[in-house]
Structure formats: structure tokens, C-alpha cells
Structure 1
Amino acid sequence: MPDLALSSAATALQIRRASRAGVLTGHTSGLAAAHVQANLAILPAAQAADFQRFCDLNPQACPLLAVTSPGDTAVPALGADLDLRSDVPRYRVWRDGELVDEPNDVGRWWRDDLVTFAIGCSFSFEHALLAEGIALRHVEQGRNVAMYRSAIPTRAAGPFHGPTVVSMRPLRAADAIRAVQITSRLPQVHGAPLHIGDPSLIGIHDLARPDYGDAIELRPDELPVFWACGVTPQAAIATARLPFCITHAPGHMLVTDLLNRELLGH
């Protein structure tokens, strides 16, 4: 669990510095609620053009916030005093499509040809839902959101293809309707849900066994609501079996200086 100083009221810089210092190693759900959080995909320049096209073809799952030049470790558009090598609580390092490391700092893995893609995250639209009084159980419980590999295909670009990963939040019907209305206005952080109701219709057969994150209870008066998730690129990267790449660990985001109200037009 994050320490008491790291809360929904924390600043983005406090979260990044805590990650850099190794104080924060857990997920960032519910932290720095006013700030936009980003998924990361960090690839060699040789694969960057294909990956950017993959994002362009799959904007709900991969809404791009920023793309760096090769070797850049800072992203001024996303924050001051920001270091891509250390400011995420946990990373994943991949070789030939296989996970080989989950470090808190990727300095030793860094290369001058790496291009970073910052992708919008559903933790940002959660702020909008909470502001409208829609309760989110995983936030209340201090847990990571539940994420699943669905049967919804992505559109391929070069070597990148695979299933759409979705995040699930259990909501009562009235709240689900309101959530559709709210998130449909937020395309930079995944937009409206892809599916509501029977998970088997999108290839998910056991909600109690998410592929990423934590299982969240679905109560009898609730519907499972599924949004496209920024972990989708990880599934595509694994399928592409790139010789090397780095991503964030699911739920362990880069917290930016961007404000949700600015990005989302609030």
C-alpha cells in the first residue's frame, strides 16, 4: 500500500519522486486524482513507426498523449522534473516477447534508440466518474482495477496485433448509463465502454480470474462494464515478439503534470 502521504490529494511531482526514490512501488490507482496518468510503451526506433500506426488504428485502446524522439528520457509536455527511466513505480522489460524483468528503475536497460509512447489511461476517467458520485469499488478498496484479454481483435500494423485488453468496473444500471455518458466525452482516455453485461460475449469466461490487476466483486445488482485498456499494447508487443522493449507494469502508471480538467475539457 502507498504511504499516507501519497493519496488522491498528492501532486504528480510527489508521486514521481516517490517512485524515483523507491518509496512507491505499488499501483497508482486513486493517487493524485487531479492528474492525468499514462501507460508507457518504450520501443526501439526501428519498430516505432509501425507501433505508432498501431496506436492510430486502435485509438480507443491506445490514445496517444505524447511520443518522444529516440533516446529522450524527459517529456516536457507531460511534466517538469520527469525521468522516464525511474518515475514509474514498476516497469516490465521484454525480450523476444517474454517478460524478463520487473524493475522499479530501468536505467540499466536504457538505450539511445528507445522511443517512448505515452498512452492515455482509464485512471483519468475514473476521476470524472468519482466527481459525479459514481463509486468505484477497486478505488474504495485500494486495489488495482481488473483487466482481461478479450476476444475483441485489434487492427494490425506491421508486427503488432492481438486482443483488445479491457478493464472492468462493476456498476449498477443507472450508474452504468451515466458512466457511458461521461466517458464518451473523453476519447483521450479510452472514451465510452466497449461492452456492458455478459462477459462471455467478448470472450471472458471468469471474472474472478483477471489477466492483470485484482479481481473485483460483482454484486447481484450490478453489471460489469468494460472499457478498452492501455495494457492492450503489451498484448500486441508480446505477440510481435520484439527483440527488446519496456512497458509499465499494469496499474503502475506515469503520473503527469497534466490536469484531468484541462485534458478532458472540464
Structure 2
Amino acid sequence: MVPFSLLLRSRLPSAIRRLPKGAPIRNTAIMAEGLQPASVVVLPRALAPAFESFCQANRGPLPMLGQSEPEKVLPRLSAVPDRRTICPQFQKYEFGICTGILASLEEYSEQLKDMVTFIMDCSFSIDEALEQAGMPRRDPAGPSHAGAYKTTVPCATIAGFCCPLVVTMRPIPKDKLERLLQAAHSIGGQKGHLVHVGDPELLGIKELSKPDYGNYVECRPEDVPVFWPSQLTSLEAAVSCKAPLAFASTPGCTVKILTDTVSPANCPTPGVVPEVHAISKDPLHYSIVSAAAVQKIRGLESAIAIDPGSRGIGYLLHKDELLRAALSLSHARSVLVTTGFPTHFNHEPPEETDGPPGAIALAAFLQALGKETSMVVDQRALSLHTKLVEEAVKQGVLTTPIPILTYQGGSVEDAQAFLCKDGDPKSPRFDHLVAIERAGRAADGSYYNARKMNIKHLVDPIDDLFLAAQKIPGISSTGVGDGGNELGMGKVKKAVKKFIRNGDVIACDVEADFAVIAGRKNAGHPGAEPSPEWSLRHCGHGSRWAAFLRCSR
């Protein structure tokens, strides 16, 4: 899963409209009778700048409409139901502990003089999106609101404000995911963005049936859990600062704030149509991407699969493997890259020249995204790749050196110990393995080049790591190749044996989750081996990360 700070930068607006301090709350969307649903956090004035910065750093779960002096907004929020209020209750906190539930704050008028009210946007309605998508609403059992969960995804920490992301969940039939996604986008724009689709454990949620707030909404066998950011994140943030006195809206209750303007952030982003794609079955995981980005990646997939040597690699191509690999990598926090295919036996070292620069370029891009990146290579090629990394740092392609590892093989337990902390499959060190033009093990246990020459004596058993990863939930893998004898091409071995010369002997038997077929050079620059600097300069945008994977012999 992508780090939440990156998620915010990639999916959410670049700025949230703020109101001048002390000004009456004026919100951001046209609502019935000029009223906008919101939640309230009241903090000591001394903490206001830090909380404002905290909201700006975590815009997704904390869309702040503005701040105001308490007397300009709170007197409207009394215990008497009227058209300006919905469940107008507050929780009182002292040093981070809830010490009471209040119908109004009138008795704290003196303390409120030295406090600031923050108004958090609650205008996006999941139930409204469900209705627009033509799906019946499923009310949780009892009078409470739908469940919300504390995750293990941390919000960005500012001063004393440090808390996890809180999410709310709705079960959605698998065949209606696309419809719901588009409905949420159409009515909520940026605010309609969800944060996760699939296995709740990827968010650190152990049991859906036990929400931290509200009541569980039952998942049926055909359903997929879908998660949105919850305004209750602001409650967790208010608790985290342990202020001597603070107030917040009661979970499940909102207030209505007078509005008279329209916020562009409340409208769908022009030209952006979201799509949802499955990228993993175990654990179940879907990813969201714009339709425009999908078309660009599909175009790239077609371009890199051009077969200049007429070797028959077009028969190996599976549609959208590049798309799914790119989406899976976008969610990874730690990536292990491997490369190395010895063929030039009169050279020292005998490596091909296209895999290593492609691996360095991919590592540079992942590093630029803030992802932990390591490489694992053959022991005999350790010096070569160490020098490549040193040169990449010297030239500014890599900001800092990346670890270069080796793996000599052994048992299944050894491979698991390499991939996981203390050998525990529940604590993988890496989320994604990528093999770029790496020699792959054939069915007889040997490694072959295109001419059927056995090169096993030059290849370390790094394939064992890919085999072990298949049994460790949470680790996905990608193999990039052009001849069918590369690591990961076991996914297309039937086609390799049928259509590739010598395929019955050389076909790799080890699968990757995604098999990317690439007949072009590392960075799509025909006729030349690009330098790492060229690769980084021309492949530095997120929608084109896969250009790093264009490798061939």
C-alpha cells in the first residue's frame, strides 16, 4: 500500500480554501437552504496554528473549511433541534480523555474566549453515492452510524498532533465497484475519493465486525470492503494533543453551517474519469486510476512490445499486465529489484548491458517517490553493481546509495528469512519484487540463454525468492523480459514453448504475478543504450514509470 502522505499528494486538491482568522464561517458548497454538514473541533488558541498545519498536511481525512472565534458559530449549535442542526452534541476532552457528552457549550463561555473553532467538511455522503449508483442502502444494526475504524496508516505528524487515519467502510458488490466509484466522483469530486478497496488487513484492520466507532455493516460473500476517510480522524487528532480542554462533535453527529459559496474542490475534476482494477487476489486488493492514465499505459504497453527481431514475443503479451504491475508498484513501500543475464562470455563481467541500467533507472524513480529500494544480484556481479550505484549517486541519478544484496540460496526457510523480518511471513521486508532482464530457471533446474547454452554456473538462485514470495501474502512480483527465459516469464511459459525458438528447453518455469513483455531497449530509445541520467530525465513522471522496464537483449 502507498504511504498515506503520497496518497494525499496524488489524489487530493493542491490547496484547501481557508478563511481569515476570526471571520464568520462561510463554507464551500451549495446545500439545501444554504446549509452545509460539518463537524467541529474546539482547541485552545495556542494550539490553533499547529492544528491548522496538521489539517493542511493531511487534507484527505481532514478537509478544513475554516476556523472562527467560538462565539460566532457555537451559539447556533444548541440542544434544540431546528433546521440548522443535526444531532448537536459535543464531547469534552481533558488531557486527551473524554470526560463528558454535552448538548451545548454555553456553560464554558469563559473558557471559549481563549479557544478557536475549526470546521471540518462532512458534505460528501457515501449514502448519496450509493443511491446514485442504484445500490440499496444497508443500515447498520441498531441506532448508531455506520462503523469507522482506526487504521495503522499514520497521518503526517505536526507538533503534538499525531494520530492514525480513521476510515469508514461500506460493502459493495464486486460487479458494482466501477459504478460506485464514478458516482462518488460525480457528486463529491476530490472529496469522493476513497482510500482503499479490498482486504482490511492492508490498513491494519483485524476484524471488520468490531469497528472502533459505530456499528458494523455486514459484508456478504459477493461484496468487497470499500473504505473512505472519516471525519473522525479530526477527533483522534484532537485527542492526541492532550490539551487541558478541548471539544469535538460526537461521533456520528454533524452540525450544519451556513454557506453561500461554491468550492471548486466540491466539483468533479474536469476530464478525470476514475477506473478500478484488481491487482491482487491474496490479499484482495483493488487500485484506482484515471481512464486517461490507463490509456497512456496501454499505449506504452503496445509500444514496448514491438518485436524488432521478429522473435514471436507478441504471442507472450497479456493485456494490462503493465498496468497492473504499475498500480501494484504504486502501492508498495519497499521494493527489491534484481537483474543480470550473463551472455557475453568473452567480456568481464559477462552481463548484458540493458538490464543493469534499467534496474538503476527504476530504483532512482522509486527512490524519488520515497519508496525504500534495494537490489539483489549475483555474487560474481556484486562489484559491478556497486560501481553502477556509486556512479549513479555521483551523477545525481540516485540521491543516496541503495543497498546491494546477494542471495546464495539454501532452503525455503532461507528464502523466507531473506524476505521477512525474523523469518515471519506476517512481516515482509519488501512489498514488491521486480526482475528486469534476469536469467530465469527452467523446468529442469538449469538456466539457459537463447541458444540453449546452460549458464547455471554463472547464476545465483534468486528465483527462490520469487517462489517464496508466492506464499507470503502482501508481496507481489513483476518479471520483465523479451525471450521467455527471464525470471518471472513462467506466467507465459506455455506460449514460450509454443512460439519462441528453443522455447521447449529455455522457458523459465518461475512465475511472477505480472509478466511484462518488452522488445524495446531500457528507456524506449531504439538503437542506443541509454545512460542512467537519460533514463531518469525522460522517465520521471508517475504515469510513465514503466518506461524503466523496457529491456531486451
Q: TM-score, normalised by structure 1?
A: 0.75
Residue 67 of structure 1 aligns with which residue?
Answer: 67
1:199 shift after superposition: 0.5
Residues 1:54 and 2:47 aligned together = no
Aligned to 1:179: 180
8 Å CA contact 1:94–1:246 kept in 2: the answer is: yes
Which amino acid in the other structure matches residue 91 of structure 1? F
Instruction: State the one-letter code of the partner of 2:46.
Output: A
Q: Distance in 2 between matches of 1:52 and 1:175?
A: 37
Pairwise CA RMSD: 3.0
- 3-state SS in 2 of match to 1:129: helix
Partner in structure 2 of residue 236 of structure 1: 237
Indicate whether 1:95 and 2:94 are aligned: yes
Give the greater-gyration-radius structure (CA).
2
Q: What is the one-letter code of the residue matched to 1:112?
A: K
C-alpha distance in 2 between matches for 1:128 and 1:199: 21
Amino acid at match of 1:169: R
Distance apart, 1:202 and its partner CA = 0.5
Greater fraction helix: 2
Provide, for residues 80-99 of structure 1, a one-character-per-residue CA deviation record: whole Å limited to 9, x for no partner. Answer: xx714554432111000000
Displacement of 1:133 after TM fit? 2.0
Distance (whole Å) between structure 2 residues aligned to residue 141 and residue 36 of structure 1 = 26
CA distance in structure 2 between the aligned counterparts of 1:83 and 1:149, rounded to whole angstroms: 31
The structure 1 segments of at least 4 consecutive aligned residues displaced by more than 4 Å after TM superposition are 85-88, 139-143, 257-263
Per-residue CA deviations over 1:132-187 (Å, capped at 9, x if unaligned) read 32333127986411100001110011111110000111111233322322334535
CA contact (8 A) 1:73 1:85 kept: no
The percentage of counterpart residues that share the same residue type is 28
Please report how far the alpha carbon of residue 67 of structure 1 lies from its aligned counterpart in structure 2 after TM superposition. 1.5
Q: Measure, in 2, the Cα distance between the counterparts of 1:122 and 1:226.
A: 17
Per the TM alignment, residue 54 of structure 1 is displaced from its structure 2 partner at its CA by 0.7
Residue 262 of structure 1: CA displacement?
7.8
Distance 1:157 1:128, change over 3 A: same
Partner residue in 2 for 1:17: none
Between Structure 1 and Structure 2, how many residues are aligned?
227
- Cα distance in 2, alignment partners of residues 113 and 206 from structure 1: 41
2:127 corresponds to 1:134: no
**2:14 matched residue in structure 1:** none
Contact 2:140 2:215 in 1 (8 A): no
Secondary structure of residue in 2 paired with 1:212: coil
Change (3 A) 1:203 1:259: farther
Q: 1:50 to 1:40 in 2, by over 3 A?
A: same
Structure 2: where are the runs of 5+ without partners? 1-31, 80-84, 269-553
Letter in 1 for 2:59: P
Structure showing greater relative contact order (alpha-carbon pairs closer than 8 Å, 6 or more residues apart): 1
Matched, 1:45 2:45: yes
2:36 alignment counterpart:
36
Give a deviation string over 1:240-261, Cα, whole Å, max 9, x none: 1111110001111012355999
Rounded to whole Å, the distance in 2 between the matches of 1:125 and 1:203 is 22
Structure 1 stretches of 5 or more lacking a match? Answer: 1-31, 76-81
Change (3 A) 1:187 1:55: farther
Q: Which residue of 2 aligns with 1:106?
A: 105
Q: 1:187 to 1:128 in 2, by over 3 A?
A: same
Which amino acid in structure 2 is aligned with residue 60 of structure 1? G
Residues 121 and 38 (structure 1 numbering): CA distance in 2 closer, same or farther, change over 3 Å? same
1:203 positional shift: 0.6
- What does 1:1-266 align with in structure 2 at a 5 Å threshold? 36-68=36-68, 70-74=69-73, 83-84=76-77, 86=79, 87=85, 88-110=87-109, 111-121=112-122, 124-138=125-139, 143-184=144-185, 186=188, 190-258=191-259, 264-265=266-267
Describe the shift of the 1:139–1:35 C-alpha distance in structure 2 as closer, same or farther (beyond 3 A).
Answer: farther
Amino acid of the residue matched to residue 62 of structure 1? L
Q: CA deviation at 1:126?
A: 3.1
When structure 1 is superposed on structure 2, of 148-157 and 127-136 the one drifting more is 127-136
What secondary structure, in the 3-state scheme, does the structure 1 residue paired with 2:244 have? Answer: coil
String of CA shifts for 1:193-232, please: whole Å, max 9, x gaps.
1111110111101111110111111111111111111100
